[in-house]
Homo-oligomer: A and B are copies of this chain.
Amino acid sequence: MSSPLKVIPLGGLGEIGQNMMVIECHQDIVVIDAGLLFPGNDMPGVELGIPDTTYLEKNRDRVKAILITHGHEDHIGALSFLLSKIDAPVYSSRLTHSLISNKLKQASIIKSANLHVVEPQKIISAGIFEFEFFRVCHSIPDSMGIAIRTPFGTIIHTGDFKIDHTPADGIPFDFDHLSRLTKDGVLLLCSDSTYAEIEGYTGSEKLVGDALDNVIKEASGRVIIVTFASLIARVQQIINSAERHQKKISLVGRSMNVNIKMALRMGYVKDSGNVIVSIKESRNLPLNKVIYIATGSQGEPNAAITRIANGNHPDINIVTGDTVVLSSSPIPGNETSVAKTIDSLFRRGARVIYSRIAPVHVRGHASREELKLMINLTKPKYFLPIHGEYRHLKAHADIAKGMGMSEKSVFVIEDGEVLEIANDGAQVAGRVPSGTIYMDSKKADETHDNIINERIALSRQGIIIASVVISGDKSSVIGSPKLRSVGFSEEHYENTALKSASKMVQVLLEEKWLKVLDWDDIESKIAETIATHIYKETRKRPIVLPILETNK
């Protein structure tokens, strides 16, 4: 046991950030989760971010297993990328397995992948490690925490979790199992920090069920409920309410249809009363018999409810008497677009109910009291807050210290930093390559910072392209410099500024620059002269791109 145990978060921070962790001991490595990041407005054009897995690629042969805690994109979305580089068995629960299979099928690598369904309590070996899944509650069924037996002791990794004593699917957090797993002591607890700032307990899914049931019962018109397609338990509660109040449900939006139909096939959702009908069928029903469940809880531009709110959904128009329930809350960064959707729905005459004014949503992560409970249940020797932004990790660390853990046993580390645990103590020891690789599409190259910066600059006040054709002997300008703009302006006044800039450049070219300057210097003089002139006239700073051509 001379080489220590290493624990390395690799996956990037952020509530919806990609999550990945590396655990290694001697020659063996296991990876927990392989998530995707959906970048925000500050990264225009970028569709996805995946973890930099250079470290794993270099140690390819040592990877004995990839363990997946649950089926959300920020935990499974980068798996196809990882499996294209590393060949290792993937272990997950049943629903997660199905979601992964769908994903890999899309990426056409299902055949080569080595996927295994694992039931909780089953002990599995992966090199020097043994691991066992335990049931937690979260906003998607079949969510697991993982106990990993290492030569130095047991690591408990919570995955994303909350503690729900009345979950909608009737499958609570498995305290029994966790207590058996921890009875010989816990070396390290890695616990979900997403909600470490929030006092108290996260509400039970049952509260939402009751609130939605009430809305459905009272509604004298249609009810449109907007939620995440992966919130399968919530859809079940809506189905139960619909049956209870003799109403019917149609699913709106592609991902809602795909997810719920899969969940129905697999038995995660039951519709014994046949309340789910097609949109077409729903049109023949009295309005007060109709419930729609739609996607778009984050104000995504192409999602069902956004199109409904904007009046351009092919199937559904808001009519007076409609009740829209946003059974969700905005992920940080989406507040403004969600607010716009709510406003638009109100303007179209809907009654709109949302989490700020009614208990129609609870979140999927543990709040401070639950986090304390987890620390108390596991009584770890060392504590590593995971999942969340830096301030969440800090807040979670403070919780642990407030419960009596010593400064030296609590670690707040960033991606790529290595937590090393040996028999004589634990320490942060160096780092491995890490970071996020941003991509404009799954087929694109990496999008580097400088490209993002160019995009942001372009979006500020557009671009002016100045094209000039010079005679081959560099003696004269052919025609006159043409200034075109995109994203700048088309107003009279600013066009005048463009025209005067063109004239200015022509005179300077012919009288001065062509005679004394090199090609490159001429280009930069053109750009500089136009930028200065435009700023002076309009106080605007578009990008200026000069294009010099010769006539032969």
Which residue of chain B is the closest to A457 with respect to CB atoms? B487
Instruction: Please tell me if A516 contacts chain B, counting CB pairs below 8 Å.
Output: no
- The answer for the CA separation of A479 and B413 in the assembled complex, in Å, is 56
Instruction: Please tell me if A511 contacts chain B, counting CB pairs below 8 Å.
Output: no
Residues on B with beta carbons closer than 8 Å to the beta carbon of A447: 489
A45, B336: Cβ atoms under 8 Å? no
Instruction: Please tell me if A462 contacts chain B, counting CB pairs below 8 Å.
Output: yes
Instruction: Please tell me if A42 contacts chain B, counting CB pairs below 8 Å.
Output: yes
- The answer for the CA separation of A487 and B545 in the assembled complex, in Å, is 12
B489, A444: Cβ atoms under 8 Å? yes
B540, A493: Cβ atoms under 8 Å? no
Find residues 513-552 in chain A having any chain B CB closer than 8 Å to their own CB: 537-540, 543, 545, 547, 549-552
Find residues 333-388 in chain A having any chain B CB closer than 8 Å to their own CB: 333, 335-336, 339, 342-343, 346-347, 352, 356-357
Instruction: Please tell me if A98 contacts chain B, counting CB pairs below 8 Å.
Output: no
- The answer for the CA separation of A517 and B40 in the assembled complex, in Å, is 43
Instruction: Please tell me if A130 contacts chain B, counting CB pairs below 8 Å.
Output: no
- The answer for the CA separation of A73 and B52 in the assembled complex, in Å, is 45
Residues on B with beta carbons closer than 8 Å to the beta carbon of A490: 448, 450-451
Which residue of chain B is the closest to A333 with respect to CB atoms? B336
Instruction: Please tell me if A407 contacts chain B, counting CB pairs below 8 Å.
Output: no
A478, B551: Cβ atoms under 8 Å? yes
User: How many copies are assembled?
Assistant: 2
* Interface 1/0 per residue, A461-502 and B, CB below 8 Å: 111010101000000001100101011111111100000000
* Interface 1/0 per residue, A403-441 and B, CB below 8 Å: 000000000001000000000000000000000000011
Smallest CB separation, A549 vs chain B (Å): 5
Main secondary structure of the interface of A (DSSP, over half): mixed
Give which listed residue, B390, B469, B537, contacts A347 with CB less than 8 A.
B390
B445, A343: Cβ atoms under 8 Å? no
Give which listed residue, B13, B414, B482, B539, contacts A547 with CB less than 8 A.
B482
Residues on B with beta carbons closer than 8 Å to the beta carbon of A460: 44-45, 455
B486, A444: Cβ atoms under 8 Å? no
Which residue of chain B is the closest to A342 with respect to CB atoms? B391
Give which listed residue, B479, B492, B539, contacts A440 with CB less than 8 A.
B539
Q: From A356, A448, A458, name the one whose CB has the most chain B CB atoms within 10 angstroms.
A: A458
Which residue of chain B is the closest to A446 with respect to CB atoms? B491
Instruction: Please tell me if A456 contacts chain B, counting CB pairs below 8 Å.
Output: yes
Q: From A440, A491, A543, A545, name the one whose CB has the most chain B CB atoms within 10 angstroms.
A: A440
Give which listed residue, B40, B347, B391, contacts A352 with CB less than 8 A.
B391
Give which listed residue, B335, B446, B458, B461, contacts A462 with CB less than 8 A.
B458
Residues on B with beta carbons closer than 8 Å to the beta carbon of A444: 489, 494, 538-540
Instruction: Please tell me if A272 contacts chain B, counting CB pairs below 8 Å.
Output: no
- The answer for the CA separation of A545 and B543 in the assembled complex, in Å, is 15
Residues on B with beta carbons closer than 8 Å to the beta carbon of A492: 445
- The answer for the CA separation of A494 and B489 in the assembled complex, in Å, is 30
- The answer for the CA separation of A444 and B489 in the assembled complex, in Å, is 9
Residues on B with beta carbons closer than 8 Å to the beta carbon of A448: 490-491
- The answer for the CA separation of A255 and B440 in the assembled complex, in Å, is 39
Give which listed residue, B391, B491, B547, contacts A484 with CB less than 8 A.
B547
- The answer for the CA separation of A538 and B444 in the assembled complex, in Å, is 5
B336, A40: Cβ atoms under 8 Å? yes
A462, B469: Cβ atoms under 8 Å? no
B346, A545: Cβ atoms under 8 Å? no
Residues on B with beta carbons closer than 8 Å to the beta carbon of A356: 197
Residues on B with beta carbons closer than 8 Å to the beta carbon of A538: 440-441, 443-445
Smallest CB separation, A465 vs chain B (Å): 6
B454, A486: Cβ atoms under 8 Å? yes
A-B contact sample (9 more), CB < 8 A, given A45-B459, A444-B540: A13-B343, A40-B336, A332-B335, A335-B335, A352-B391, A444-B538, A445-B491, A446-B491, A451-B462
Interface residues of A (CB under 8 A from B): 13, 40-42, 44-45, 197, 332-333, 335-336, 339, 342-343, 346-347, 352, 356-357, 389-391, 394-395, 414, 440-448, 450-451, 454-463, 465, 467, 469, 478-479, 482, 484, 486-494, 537-540, 543, 545, 547, 549-552
Residue pairs across A and B with Cβ atoms less than 8 A apart, 22 shown, are A45-B461, A45-B487, A342-B391, A346-B394, A352-B391, A440-B461, A440-B540, A441-B539, A442-B539, A443-B538, A444-B538, A444-B539, A445-B494, A451-B490, A454-B486, A458-B459, A463-B463, A463-B486, A465-B547, A467-B547, A467-B549, A484-B547
